[in-house]
Chain A
Amino acid sequence: MKDPIIQLTGLTKTYGKFTAVDKLDLHIYPGEIFGLLGPNGAGKTTSILMMLGLTEPSAGTAYVCGHNATRNPIAVKRKVGYLPDNVGFYPDMTALENLCFIAELNGLTKSLAQTSAKDMLHVVGLEQEMHKKTGSFSRGMKQRLGLAEVLIKAPEVAILDEPTLGIDPKGVDEFLELIKQLSREHKLTVLLSSHHLHQVQRVCDRVGIFVGGKLLTQGSIESLAQNLQQQEGVSTVITLERAPDTQRFKEALKVLPGLRKVSINELSVELKTDSDATAAAVRILVNNGADIVAVSRNGYQLDDIYNTYFENSITTHTAYEKSRGFFKRFQ
């Protein structure tokens, strides 16, 4: 495997007694899209700021593009584009001026900045709004402009913090598609943080689930689902036509390999098994005279992943959304 482009070792950040990020170990490899998933307040933004050298870690190291982000932040910032979660622009400057300013800060000459800024505005689809002041921009337009700004420095790594927050569903689709396309075209490594599993699922090669400052698990969505399956088992629901003979069926189903739990309600039989045993269960039931009308098998979906890992925080999730400003300082 290639060397990781982002390498975090034991990264920790404490604010007084509060631990925002707890011994984070994370490797991200060149060219992949990594999703950092977690509820608000999980420490995603803090981790990102440490990767950029904008916040000093309490312990541990962050190496990005081969540079220590804490000791040599300028070298890191030259190669990393960052889109903060509440991106803002100078409201009195036009989109083009805002972009040129950033381009020049990154060492482009004035004329080169001008041309590449125009190119980038085309890429993100803002060419119509080029000469409009950013004060009048909508949230989605600001995010696009933010993405253009990330790209204009021709980064090796793009770090996007909650890039889909506050954009409408259609805008989210387009935005994520754009990120995916750009990542493939330019061999860009993308780290994006989000609390929307469903959105991240579509673009990320790998995800890491981050709750309460700890990285609980990481891997591709499929492997996460598989892990979960091993932990929780597969559940099968068989619906019957008539009320079942509960005792008899229960006895009969005991022979199933890896059976964990059987529960029989009025017209349905629910099974939990280590691995998929749907076919065997149906055969046993039919042999025992059951009339089956429907069988459904649950593989593990994102919602389950989400629920399992975010369990503790899911109840407060909506509250977080609304009072974001208040909770943000813990994030």
Chain B
Amino acid sequence: MKNPGVSSKDFNSKRSTPMQVLVRKEIAAHIRSWRFIILILLIVLTFGAALYVSSMGLKDAVSNMRDPDQSFLYLKLLTTTDNSIPPFHVFLNFLAPLLGIALGFDAVNAEYNNGTLTRLLAQPIYRDNLLFAKFLAPLIVVGTLFVALVMLMIGGGLMGTGVRIEPQELLRILGFTLISVLYVAFWLSLSILLSIRFRQPATSALTAIGIWLFFTVFFPILVNLAIRPFLPNPNYISEQEYIGYNELILNLLRLSPSQLYTDATTTLLMPSVRSLGPITMEQMVGAIPSPLSFRESFLMVWPQISGLTAAMMICFAWSYYIFMRREIRS
């Protein structure tokens, strides 16, 4: 038998760390799976449709002199719509969770049920390596997909219109991509957590979809229902109190990751958005309706980004905790 330590005199190929091997295998498995091909088709189709609609209305949007964002052609390309279909970033608000869930819901329990987990963990690798590979590989794939899409869009826009892209626009679009990947990462880590918690892939997928539906459909209704009984008649309270209540509702809504994502992407893609809550007339006095700089927009969404990151980290840490202590026998 060959001893790998002695006979590996092959200088052409490098020895890779277990982590690299795991990630490579995961990526290969994802790319080859039908599930991922369908998801890609879905995303590309949505992206194409949204882009088509926006490019149709682009001329009006760019020549609309009352719009302070009218000079940002590429941002307009991402956000303009004639209301027949929502713009891409709103679409992604629905699709990204689906992407995350689909790529992670059977990450651990499928290995478990296949009998491959015991075999894998009997190899000289650390348990957390496996978990991290399960998390990292889909993100690399999704990140590549998103970056490729926006690059294609920018390239297409450059060729089609011949308008130079502002560095600011590029930064904003990359920021949008980053936040989208982060949003997918949150749902991915949640679904990995569920895939460790539940033995059956179907159960974990259903639970993940349940959580997703709860946050997108029921959570806003629930917040409304919960707040309304305590809300005094707006006619009898001061403006200050009114704003306070409004702020409270918004903050409650921000417990939902999809609200955080919407806030963050809207701010980044529409430079004229200067506040995510209500603004009083006093605050607006003297303000010129002009776009914010990238740095200011970015600072504005910083809480949203950290909120999403924190939610993702909590899910990941939790799954790490239960996976490390889990009996691995099938």
Contact = CB atoms under 8 A, between A and B. Distances in A.
B287 interface: no
B10 A109 contact: yes
Nearest to B116: A88
A101 B126 CA distance: 16
A119 B114 CA distance: 26
B119 interface: yes
Contacts of B15: 107-109
B4 A88 contact: no
A116 interface: yes
A269 B21 CA distance: 71
A105 B123 CA distance: 7
A165 to B, nearest CB: 12
Nearest to A146: B119
Contacts of A119: 2
Interface string A41-74: 0000110010010110000000000000000001
Contact of A54 (B3, B4, B33, B328): B328
A84 B18 CA distance: 21
Given A101-B21, A154-B4, A109 B14 contact: yes
A105 B24 CA distance: 11
B327 A106 contact: no
A157 to B, nearest CB: 12
**Max chain A C-beta neighbours (<10 A), residue from B16, B22, B25, B123:** B123
Contact of B4 (A77, A91, A107): A107
Contact of B122 (A75, A77, A93, A186): A77
A80 B7 CA distance: 19
B122 A84 contact: yes
A102 B123 CA distance: 7
Chain B, interface size category, equals: 35 or more
B164 interface: no
B124 A108 contact: no
A46 B327 CA distance: 10
Contacts of B115: 84, 86-88
A82 interface: yes
Interface in B175-214: none
Nearest to A15: B327
Contact of A111 (B2, B5, B13, B118): B13
B32 interface: yes
Interface residues of A, number: 42
A112 interface: yes
B310 interface: no
Contacts of A328: 330
A105 B18 contact: yes
B126 A74 contact: yes
Contacts of A153: 4, 123
B158 interface: no
A55 B327 contact: yes
Nearest to B7: A112
Contacts of A90: 29, 114, 116
A122 B294 CA distance: 62
A199 B315 CA distance: 48
Interface string B104-120: 00000000001110111
A108 B1 contact: no
Contact of B10 (A82, A102, A111, A146): A111
Nearest to B11: A109
Nearest to A49: B329
Given A45-B329, A110-B13, A154-B4, A88 B21 contact: no
Interface string B18-40: 10011001000100110000000
A81 B10 CA distance: 24
Nearest to A86: B115
Given A74-B126, A90-B114, A116-B2, A101 B329 contact: no
A186 B124 CA distance: 21
A5 to B, nearest CB: 17
Contacts of B330: 84, 86, 328
Contacts of A105: 18, 21-22, 120, 123-125
A244 B30 CA distance: 81
B124 A78 contact: yes
B8 interface: yes
B329 A108 contact: no
Given A88-B115, A91-B114, A108-B8, A186 B123 contact: no
B114 A88 contact: yes
Contacts of B13: 109-112
B2 A101 contact: no
A151 B4 CA distance: 12
B121 interface: yes
A81 B118 CA distance: 12
Nearest to A116: B2
Contacts of A89: 114, 116, 119
Given A49-B328, A88-B119, A108-B8, 12 more contacts: A45-B329, A46-B329, A55-B329, A84-B119, A88-B114, A89-B119, A90-B114, A105-B124, A106-B4, A111-B10, A111-B13, A146-B119
27 contacts: A54-B328, A55-B329, A77-B123, A77-B124, A80-B122, A84-B118, A88-B119, A93-B29, A102-B119, A104-B16, A104-B21, A105-B21, A105-B120, A106-B4, A106-B123, A107-B5, A107-B15, A109-B15, A109-B16, A110-B16, A111-B10, A112-B4, A112-B8, A119-B2, A146-B119, A153-B4, A154-B4
Which 3 pairs, one residue from A and one from B, show the smallest C-beta to C-beta distance? A88-B115, A82-B122, A88-B114
